[in-house]
Chains A and B, each alone.
Chain A
Amino acid sequence: MSAVPDREAAGSRDDDEPALVARALAGDRTALGVLVTRFAAPVRRLAYAILRDADEADDAAQDGVLQALVKLDRYDPSRPFGPWLMRIVANAAIDRRRRRAVRETSELDEGLVGGGPLPDVEVDRLALRQRLAMALDTLPQRYRMALVLFDVEGYSQAEIAEILGVAPGTVRSAVFHARRRLRRWLEGWKEGGGES
């Protein structure tokens, strides 16, 4: 498992994306395939972070990417491609979530969030991951998106602000509060004896 944000791990390939888009628009299926493959994992992760349902996330990510590809000629090549695509995918996932009939509890009561040591003292990495998943579920949608885009995908605060359509200060605040809430959840796990 890599411990570096996705874009950094990818070796900063952003520079060639406008050229790939131009080739894709000219009918180059290979260039189109490169773009789709490059962003498949990040868009799926983002959609999953928003929807927290694997099938719905893949449907939303697919819808979002297709929407972007259909209007690829509206992409401004002077700007980075990633945030443009991620914004479209995020909106597709948010729309799907709004339409979802099942009522979700997006944020639990603070008293529940603190938690205590897990009953099972032999927690391992899987338990940590389960705990993290539970913690992630309790975060408001915007916090989840900001946290994933910043800590997982490696986008800058300015880029995330563009993706989410908010001020950079709001992104910083969202990342801070998201980390603090995760910390509260994970403190309970650590006190229970688990450590990675």
Chain B
Amino acid sequence: MNPESKAFSAEPDRVLGAELRALLDRPGEAEFVAAVMAGAAAAGVGSTRAVLGRWARLAVAGLIVAAVGSALVIRSTTEPAATLDTEWVAAATGSAAAAALFTSQNAPDATVLYASVESN
């Protein structure tokens, strides 16, 4: 081994590496593997339950995304349906414009407001 010449080398020092490996290697690898596999089994790694759980999480996440997406699409493409409130105000005032004005969930439209004033 010539550590001096290898000090600046960007390549692995194979001789030093072999010595270090011999120093760090210990018996008991099979026992180690067995212990890890037993631990993994106890923790449910790769079990049917874990696999199903992962798929279930993915499915739930997908359903949530789909539901939110669908709600947004439906909300943007459909007109608001007439509600009981709208019908009641229309019946009480005799004005569809007033009903639209008072029952709207959005800020009043100036044209609707004007039409209401004009009709009265």
B9 CB to nearest chain A CB (Å): 8
Q: Which secondary structure characterizes the binding site on chain A?
A: helix
Q: Given the interface contacts A3-B17, A66-B36, A129-B22, does A25 sit within 8 Å of B51 by beta carbon?
A: yes
Verify A176–B19 contact, CB threshold 8 A: no
Which chain A residues have a beta carbon within 8 Å of chain B's beta carbons?
A: 1-6, 24-29, 32-33, 36-37, 40-41, 44-45, 48-49, 54, 58, 61-62, 65-66, 69-70, 72-73, 128-129, 132-133, 136, 147-148, 150-152, 154, 157, 172, 176, 179-180, 182-183, 186, 196
Closest-CB distance, B8 to chain A (whole angstroms): 7
CA distance A122 to B47 in the complex (A): 56
Q: Is the Cβ of A62 less than 8 Å from the Cβ of B35? A: yes
Known: A36-B37, A40-B29, A148-B20. A69 touches B1 (CB 8 A): no
19 pairs, A vs B, C-beta closer than 8 Å:
A1-B18, A1-B22, A2-B21, A3-B14, A4-B14, A25-B51, A26-B46, A32-B45, A32-B46, A36-B33, A45-B25, A48-B24, A58-B28, A73-B54, A128-B19, A148-B20, A172-B10, A180-B7, A182-B16
Minimal beta-carbon separation of A37 from chain B (angstroms) = 5
A-B contact count (CB 8 A): 125
Chain B contacts for A128, CB-based, 8 A: 19
Contacts of B54 in A (CB 8 A): 25, 73
CB of A186 within 8 A of CB of B1, answer yes
Chain B proximity of A66: nearest CB distance (Å): 5
A150 to B28, CA, bound (A): 24
**Would B37 and A32 count as touching, CB distance under 8 A?**
yes
Contact B40 A150 (CB under 8 A): no
Q: Which of B17, B21, B32 contacts A58 (CB 8 A)?
A: B32
Is the pair A196, B1 in contact by a Cβ cutoff of 8 Å? yes
Q: Do the beta carbons of B12 and A24 come within 8 Å of each other? A: no
Bound complex: CA A128 to CA B1 (Å): 11
- Of A24, A41, A148, A172, the contact of B29 (CB 8 Å cutoff): A41
Q: Which residues of A contact B17 (CB under 8 A)?
A: 3-5, 151-152, 154
* Distance to closest chain A CB from B19 (angstroms): 6
B15 close to A (CB within 8 Å): yes
Inter-chain contacts of A72 with B (CB < 8 A) = 45
- Distance between B52 CB and nearest chain A CB, rounded to angstroms: 10
Interface residues of B in 39-90 (CB under 8 A from A): 39-40, 43, 45-48, 50-51, 54
Please measure, in the bound complex, the distance between the C-alpha atom of A69 and the C-alpha atom of B40, giving whole angstroms: 7
Cβ B33 vs Cβ A37 within 8 A: yes
